[in-house]
Amino acid sequence: MKLWNKGFDIDKQVEKFTIGKDSELDMQLAEYDVQGSAAHVQMLCSIGILTGDEEKILLAGLADIAQEIRDGKFVIEAGTEDVHSQVETLLTQRLGDVGKKIHTGRSRNDQVLVDIKLFVRAKIKEIAAQTQTLFDTFIALSQEHKNVLLPGYTHLQMAMPSSFGLWFAAYAETLVDDVQILAAAYKVANQNPLGSGAGYGSSFPLNRAETTRLLGFETMHYNVAAAQMSRGKTERAFAFGIAGIAATLARFAMDVCLYNSQNFGFITLPDAFTTGSSIMPHKKNPDVMELVRGKCNRLQSLPNEIALLCTNLPSGYHREFQLLKEILFPAITELSNCLQMTTFVLQHINIQHNILSDERYNCLFTVESVNALVQDGVPFREAYRQVGAQVQQGTYQPLKALHHTHEGSIGNLCNAAIAGKMQHVMDTIIN
């Protein structure tokens, strides 16, 4: 069934090409399509387009479909173009002519828009919750290992003493920034487009404030043309949030692969988390984190892919927008899987103690030696020259006592403050 059928058949090859993966991807929108339709029905009744009895019949029919979706019994039948068509077809088959009234005062354009907005809102909450779980794991490990020292690097050259506490907490706080971007995307998504029709409104006296309230949106897209122009912008905003988290996961995965290698040996993964070689019997490869790295590197292209799809499109609806689902929906699943796997691996990671007792790391303490001389009254540049000369001459002896007390340093991680930052951001999404 095609809602736009006017008495002629479309070429089958053209039909297959234009429908694409819509019926498959639209299954993810089914529950949201029913939610949007239920709000629309209630609004139509409030303005006298539907009678009270028609409202009850339609809401009951939509509730039955919603239950079928939850039970996994809902399908988009062959020959049905999309989820919107399937829901309307079922209502008409089961309820008769009253089912045909459900599309009054709306277009598939605003119908899919409200589905996408509701879907994105829900998925942002899910991704944010998974990110919170990973964040909590980082903070817990930071607290547990806050006094275990670790070499710090710049340019992949030994730099200064770090700690596992600092390393884990750094990724935790970086995730706070990533969730900030998610929160901004949530605000973009949390606007009601229903009632904008095809982008030019309706001659029906629609009560858009009512559907905004019923669907729990913070506000509405007031300008009906702007509502349609949000297609692509909503997805791209979410894509930036996905890309930000993916960048953090990819960097952490690289650290794990590096620190797990024999040349570093700072951490190890359980044997059950590694894979082997068909020719080298000693190999224990961190394939799981290499795949997280690769998948998350690929996810960072998401905003650009969406931007390129929408580049140079004029205002109004265009069929290219259908392809946004093919780009965004699999990416959400991919990031969710990577978050889950990274958290799982992190919960089982083994760290090495007493790393800095090895003489190869003595030069990590040169800054401590310079600072000690400065505190004794030696000008900084002179202290730097003296310690540098000792290193060059091979006479340098490190001062391994560390006195880092300022906020965010290895002696004062401020993990409680970082957790507070995360909670503040999460409150803007979850509540």
**Using the 8-state DSSP alphabet, how is residue 222 labeled?**
-
- Per residue in 343-366, is it b (16+ CB within 10 Å) or e — as a string? bebbeebebeeebbeeeebebbbb
Out of 84, 163, 261, 277, which one is annotated catalytic?
A: 277
User: Do residues 139 and 169 touch, judged by C-beta distance below 8 A?
Assistant: yes
Q: Are 351 and 148 in contact (CB under 8 A)?
A: yes
Question: Is residue 277 flagged as an active site residue?
Answer: yes
Q: Where are the alpha helices (DSSP H) in 47-155?
A: 52-70, 83-95, 108-144
Task: Give start and end residues of each alpha helix (H) in 284-322.
Answer: 287-299, 302-310
Of all helices (H) and strands (E), which one includes residue 421? helix 415-430
Q: Which amino acid is at 317?
A: Y
DSSP tag of 267: E
| Residues 6 or more apart in contact with residue 318 via CB below 8 angstroms | none
Cα dihedral 406→410→412→414 (10° resolution): 110
- Direct distance between the N- and C-terminal alpha carbons of the chain, in angstroms, rounded to an integer: 40
Structure tokens at 114: 């409200």
Choose the catalytic residue: 84, 85, 103, 155: 155
Instruction: Please check whether residue 186 is in contact with residue 429, taking contact to mean a CB–CB distance below 8 angstroms.
Output: yes
Length in residues, the chain: 431
On whether the CB atoms of residues 104 and 44 are closer than 8 A, the answer is yes
Beta-carbon neighbour count of residue 141 at 10 Å? 21
Q: Say which residues have a Cβ less than 8 Å from residue 117's Cβ, sequence separation at least 6.
A: 189, 190, 191, 192, 193, 217, 234
- Which residues are catalytic, by number? 155, 277
